[in-house]
Structure 1
C-alpha cells in the first residue's frame, strides 16, 4: 500500500484523540474500520505506531517519528493548496478576453480595466455575430462579451450564459447635413420613406423589426445596405443614404443624428459571461466598469443627455436579463 496524506491524517487523529475509539468517532468511521486501516498503515511503514491498551493509544518511537513528519507535511500541503488557489484567482484577474459587437462600451471598459490593473493582459475580439461571441464565451475562448439586442429580444440563450443589461438606447437616424431633417428635434419614420437605408450587420432580429416599424408607419423600406461604421459615415455624408444608428455614435463633420419620433426601435447593450467560469467571480466589477464606460460616452453628448431627460426609462440600466 502506498502511503497517502489521508493516512497521515488518520495517524494524527488517533494521536490527538488518544484512542482509536475516540478517533473513529471524530472521523465518522466504525472502530473496526479504523483499526483495520491503522493496521494497513503500520504494515506500509514497517512497524507499530501506537501502543494500545485500556488506557488508550500512545505513540511508539516510530509513531512519534511519523507524527513529527505528518505535522509538518499536512500544514505544508494545505498551505500549498491555499497559495495555488490564490495564484489561480490572481491569474484570472490578470487576464481579460472580451468579445464585442459595435457599441459605445468597449473602449471605456478596456480603459478602466487597464487603469485598475496596469499589468493585466487584455485582449479584444470584434465580431458582427452575437451568437458567435456567445459560443466563444461558452467554449472558454472569451471571458466576457458585449453585444447589442434589438428591443425586447433575448440575448443568445442556447449557450447558458448569464447576461446583464448595461443600457437601453433608442435608435436614431444618421442624416447628411444637407438633409431636410438635419437639426430637427425628431423626425417621423414616414418622412424618410423614400430614403435608402444603412445599418451595421448583425445576426439578430433588427432588420425584421425595422421592416415591421416601416410597415406600421405606412411604407415598405428600400433594401438596406449593410456596412461597417466607417462605411455608414461615408455613404451618409455623400448623401447616398441615411443610417440607423445608436445615439452614442460619434457625430463626424457632415452628418448629424436625429431621434426618430415615438422611438419605433430600441437597442439594448448587454454584457455576458458563463456562470461556471472564473469570470463569474469578477463579473460584478466588470459590469460596474461597463456601466461607467457607457455613462461617460453619454456625458459627451449634450443632445442625447437632453433627450434622456425628456424620455425617462432609457439610458443606463445595469439590470439582470432573464
Structure 2
C-alpha cells in the first residue's frame, strides 16, 4: 500500500484527538474503518504508530517520527486546496468555523449584509477548529472553552473573548417534577440518567466534576446532542444545554442552582484585523439571541444589577 495524504491526515487526527473514536468522528468515517486503515498503515511502515491505552491512543516513538513529517505535508495540502477553492469562487468568501450556537444564524445574516460571504464549517471540537484556523483552512472560528479544560491554542493565533463565562443550563422532560421551578437543584436530578457528547472537548470531564461535587453518581450515557434532545423529549435522559436554548412543549430548559458549569466564548483568527472585521456582527447576533431566551435574560439582568454583568441594556 502506498501512503496517501488521506492516510497522513488520519494519523494526525488520531494524534490530535487522542482517540480512534473521536478521530473517526472528526474525519466523518466509521471507527472500525479507521482502525482497519491504521493497521494497514502500521503494516506498511513496519511498526506500531500508537499505543492503545484505556485513556486513548498515544504515539509511539515511530509514530512521533512519522507525525513530525506528516503534519507539514497535511497542512500544505489543506492550504493548497483552500487557495484553489478561493481562486475559483465567485467573490470574496469568508471561511467560518464554529461549534454549535444559536447565535450563528444571526451572525451569518449580518456578515452577508456586510458583503462578507461566509462558508460555514461546523465541528463539535473547538480544538480542531483552532488548528484549522492556524493551518489556513479557516479564516475565523467561534468556539467555546469548557471551564476546567483549557483549549490547546496554536502559537500565533489571536483570540477575542465574547463572553468570559456563560452558564450552562439543563434540559429536562417537560413533565419532570423539577421543571415546575425556574431553578433546578442537581439533587432534584439524582435519579435521572444524563447524556453527554464525549467528543465535545472537555465536556465529559466537566459534567462528571459537576456531579461529583454535588455528591451524585448518576448513570451518564454517551451520545450526541441531537440524540440527547430526542431522549429528553421522551423522558429518557436529562442533558446540559446552552442558556440560549428554547424550551419546547416536550422539554424544559432551566437554570442550575449555583451555576456550577460554565464556558468561555471565544473568537479566533490569525490577525487582529480579521477579528475586527467580524466581531461586532457576532456580538450583535449573540445578544439578540440571548435576550430572547427568558431564563437567560433574567440571569443576565440579575448579573447586571449586581454590577457583574456584561450584557447591554435594551
State the TM-score, normalized to the length of structure 1.
0.63
Match of 2:221 in 1: 224
Match of 2:192 in 1: 195
Match of 1:165 in 2: 161
Q: How many angstroms apart in 2 are the aligned matches of 1:152 and 1:291?
A: 24
Asked if 1:250 corresponds to 2:246, the answer is yes
Q: How many angstroms apart in 2 are the aligned matches of 1:315 and 1:265?
A: 18
Q: How many angstroms apart in 2 are the aligned matches of 1:188 and 1:161?
A: 39
Q: How many angstroms apart in 2 are the aligned matches of 1:222 and 1:172?
A: 19
Matches within 5 A, 1:14-25: none
Q: Structure 1 residues 162 and 125 mapped into 2: Cα distance closer, same or farther (>3 Å)?
A: same
Match of 1:260 in 2: 256
Larger Rg: 1
- 2:148 and 2:206 in contact (8 A); partners too: no
Question: Alpha-carbon deviation of 1:152?
Answer: 5.4
Question: Alpha-carbon deviation of 1:159?
Answer: 4.2
- The secondary structure found in structure 2 opposite 1:262 is coil
Match of 1:62 in 2: none
Mark the runs of 5 or more structure 1 residues left unpaired by the alignment.
Answer: 1-90, 318-322
Q: Structure 1 residues 210 and 287 mapped into 2: Cα distance closer, same or farther (>3 Å)?
A: same
User: Out of 118, 121, 126, which is 1:122 matched to?
Assistant: 118
Q: Which has the higher contact order (CA 8 A, sep 6+)?
A: 1
User: Out of 215, 219, 230, which is 1:234 matched to?
Assistant: 230
Q: How many angstroms apart in 1 are the aligned matches of 2:155 and 2:125?
A: 14
- 2:233 and 2:251 in contact (8 A); partners too: yes
Q: How many angstroms apart in 1 are the aligned matches of 2:199 and 2:143?
A: 10
Mark the runs of 5 or more structure 2 residues left unpaired by the alignment.
Answer: 1-88
Q: Deviations over 1:221-272 (max 9, x none)?
A: 31233213x3222110100000100110132221111111001101222111
- The secondary structure found in structure 1 opposite 2:220 is coil
Match of 2:105 in 1: 107
- 1:174 and 1:243 in contact (8 A); partners too: yes
- 1:173 and 1:258 in contact (8 A); partners too: yes
User: Out of 273, 297, 309, which is 2:301 matched to?
Assistant: 309
Match of 2:47 in 1: none
Give the aligned CA root-mean-square deviation in angstroms.
2.3
- 2:267 and 2:275 in contact (8 A); partners too: no
Q: How many angstroms apart in 1 are the aligned matches of 2:279 and 2:311?
A: 12
Asked if 1:143 corresponds to 2:135, the answer is no
Q: How many angstroms apart in 1 are the aligned matches of 2:310 and 2:186?
A: 22
Q: Structure 1 residues 202 and 290 mapped into 2: Cα distance closer, same or farther (>3 Å)?
A: farther
Q: Structure 1 residues 152 and 105 mapped into 2: Cα distance closer, same or farther (>3 Å)?
A: farther
Q: How many angstroms apart in 2 are the aligned matches of 1:215 and 1:243?
A: 16
User: Out of 187, 202, 205, which is 1:208 matched to?
Assistant: 205
- 1:130 and 1:147 in contact (8 A); partners too: yes
Q: How many angstroms apart in 2 are the aligned matches of 1:132 and 1:282?
A: 19
Q: Structure 1 residues 129 and 175 mapped into 2: Cα distance closer, same or farther (>3 Å)?
A: same
Q: Structure 1 residues 268 and 164 mapped into 2: Cα distance closer, same or farther (>3 Å)?
A: same
Match of 2:38 in 1: none
- The secondary structure found in structure 1 opposite 2:180 is coil
